[in-house]
Structure 1
Amino acid sequence: MTRESPPARKPPTSNQPSAKPSGPKPPKRVTAQYLENAALYYLQRFASSSANLRRVLMRKVDRSAQAHGTDPAEGARWVEDLIARYQRSGLLNDAAYAEMRAASLHRRGTSTRAIREKLASKGIARDEADKALDALDEEVDGDLNLTAALALARRRRLGPYRLPEKRAEFRDKDLAALGRAGFAYDIARRVVDAEDPDSVE
């Protein structure tokens, strides 16, 4: 009795999905509707000044012009129309944004000098920054820079927030940390050399 040979194996069929091409996705082609959708999506996630939103949208316009040959001048007009409409409706309000951002930065321990710089980087004019800091000064009990320096010291465990046996060893480093954050030496020294946080205030 002869043994039957095993059935021949079928060659494997390639049903595997083809690998997706690697690399970044190509930029979207910009239209007026696309820019409006992008602007609203951005504002849902982030507070923004007019100048900052303009920068965000113009990057999309420029990438579309490079990838698809769209007209950057037309894209810029769409962006300006959006900005003006959102300002009229109150969706964009640079004064309110400046006040909110200044208060948030102060709570994190940011000096007034650094607050001005950060607001300027978002396109907030100097007079708007001054008004925002004036409004903050009315709300905060005490000197803005001193209370901010205390907040930073608390967050980073500097000066009176260190273990007592470590304070002398780290005094110079703590002074330098507050100096790099934009605080004057006398403010930094008052915080770092304080017996406890309450004695500073």
Structure 2
Amino acid sequence: MSILSVPMDNTPPPSFTCPPPQRSALREAALAHLARFGTTRQGLEQVLLRRVARWAQKAQRAGDCTELVAEHAAKLHPVVAAVVDDMVRLGAVDDAVFARSRVRRLVRSGRSTRAVQAHLAAKGVAPEVRDEALEEAVSTLSAGEQELCAALVLARKRRLGPFALAPATPDEGEASGMARWNKALGVLARAGFARDVAQRALEMQPEEAEDWMDRLRAES
């Protein structure tokens, strides 16, 4: 059975008790997913492959031959790829558009550049597309300023540095103050912020921090 013999209409092959998904059904599933969620080429492909996998599990539970089910599921993989290619050609899937939108959202939620890069990589976005999206995320801010703003967003969420009721400083002269300072640095470090960025954010005065927040909000 060649790839071309995989049925493209809605007539299920008679050899299966549980009808496998046809190209038309996979296309409908792709459009339904894209109507609700933004995604990448890899993301949409994974959604459709999971649909194929669910059919294979259901068919096996229904008593269909495991080997035949696995063979047919494998032959549906290029059909899935073709459906995804259709969505890309239609402009419904665009990794660059997805990356720019997701970067803006993540920066405004307090994610570091390192965390953003990891997130986009997991979504299948190519390195050059990730870099370009990060450069364009906040057009009025440099990469360093964008990173500082993201650190301040996280500091505000966690009530650290200029947003703390009792800001910790490394020169308080008390063990408890140093402990709180190191704890605050640790929060930002675990989020992927470099020490110099974290230290600058934590040492910033509240008025200056709010000015940076206003600059970031102006880009929304």
Residue identity (%) = 36
> In the alignment, is residue 124 of structure 1 matched against residue 125 of structure 2?
yes
- Gaps of at least 5 residues in structure 2 are 1-17, 60-68, 170-176, 213-220
Following TM superposition, by how much is the alpha carbon of 1:88 offset from its aligned partner in structure 2, in angstroms? 0.8
Following TM superposition, by how much is the alpha carbon of 1:151 offset from its aligned partner in structure 2, in angstroms? 1.1
SS at match of 2:139: helix
The 4+ residue runs of structure 1 with deviation greater than 4 A are none
Match of 1:154 in 2: 156
The CA RMSD measured in Å over matched residues stands at 2.3
Mark the structure with the bigger radius of gyration. Answer: 1
* Structure 1 contact 191–197 (Cα < 8 Å) conserved: no
Change in 2 beyond 3 A, CA 1:173/1:84: same
Following TM superposition, by how much is the alpha carbon of 1:28 offset from its aligned partner in structure 2, in angstroms? 8.1
Change in 2 beyond 3 A, CA 1:139/1:54: farther
Match of 2:204 in 1: 194
Q: Report 1:1-201 matches (<5 A).
A: 29-68=20-59, 69=69, 71-140=72-141, 143-164=145-166, 168=177, 170-196=180-206, 198=208, 201=212
**Aligned residues, how many?**
175
SS at match of 1:138: coil
Change in 2 beyond 3 A, CA 1:166/1:184: closer
Change in 2 beyond 3 A, CA 1:91/1:63: same
Following TM superposition, by how much is the alpha carbon of 1:45 offset from its aligned partner in structure 2, in angstroms? 1.6
- Gaps of at least 5 residues in structure 1 are 1-26
SS at match of 2:21: coil
Tell me, in whole angstroms, the C-alpha distance in 1 between the residues paired with 2:44 and 2:165.
Answer: 44
Following TM superposition, by how much is the alpha carbon of 1:139 offset from its aligned partner in structure 2, in angstroms? 3.9
Change in 2 beyond 3 A, CA 1:39/1:99: same
Following TM superposition, by how much is the alpha carbon of 1:198 offset from its aligned partner in structure 2, in angstroms? 1.0
